[in-house]
């Protein structure tokens, strides 16, 4: 999925523009601007959402309400870095990620709860520009559920 040699040369630090920076390290993928994903492969069988952070990632959870089985197959690609240098790449399906987070009391306390996700979705529908972000300490999530992830780097 990821070209490690190319990835190792990319400075992924800073805010915004990560999709454009990482695209060369995703052979066969095209940048796309969809609600749930950032990249799609040539034969349109694989969709990838990039989450790039040193650790804490913020999610606009309203968009995760009432997902189809097809939507749940989106690959969440977590790109961890230290001072812009990639330190790890992990993937998990969106459906699996949501399943794990909404069934873990520790993450529920941060807002990973289906009732809240439903409320956020309704608010987003009423006020389309509104965003409400829920935090996820990615390193803790990966450490606690490493058996659920595929490690690529």
| pLDDT tens by residue, 9-64 | 999 887 777 899 999 999 999 999 899 999 999 998 999 999 998 889 999 999 99
Output the domain CATH number for residue 114. 3.40.210
SS3 state at 80: strand
What pLDDT is attached to residue 18? 84
105-119 pLDDT, tens digit per residue, is 999 999 999 999 999
pTM of the model as a whole: 0.94
Residue 89 near residue 151, CB atoms below 8 Å: yes
Residue owning tokens 């095209």:
30
Mean pLDDT of the 126-150 span: 95
Cβ of 34: how many Cβ atoms within 10 Å? 11
What's the pLDDT score for residue 37?
A: 97
Give the total number of structural domains in the chain: 1
Q: Are 79 and 8 in contact (CB under 8 A)?
A: no
Indicate if the pLDDT at residue 1 is higher than 80. Answer: yes
Q: Give the span between the Cα atoms of 65 and 90, in whole angstroms.
A: 23
44: left (phi over 0), alpha (psi -120 to 50) or beta: left
In angstroms, the CA 107 to CA 54 distance is 19
Residue 9 lies in domain: 4-151
């Amino acid at each position: 999925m990821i070209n490690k040699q190319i990835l190792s040369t990319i400075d992924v630090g800073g805010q915004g523009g990560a999709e454009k920076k990482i695209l060369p390290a995703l052979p066969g993928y095209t940048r796309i601007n969809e609600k749930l994903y950032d990249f799609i492969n040539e034969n349109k069988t694989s969709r990838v959402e990039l989450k790039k952070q040193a650790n804490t990632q913020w999610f606009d959870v309203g968009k995760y309400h009432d997902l189809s089985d097809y939507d749940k197959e989106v690959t969440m690609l977590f790109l961890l870095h230290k001072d812009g240098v990639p330190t790890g790449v992990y993937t998990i399906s969106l459906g699996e990620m949501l399943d794990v987070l909404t069934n873990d009391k520790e993450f529920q306390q941060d807002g990973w709860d289906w009732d809240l996700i439903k409320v956020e979705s309704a608010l987003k529908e009423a006020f389309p520009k509104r965003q409400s972000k829920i935090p996820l300490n990615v390193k803790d999530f990966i450490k606690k559920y490493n058996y659920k992830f595929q490690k690529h780097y």
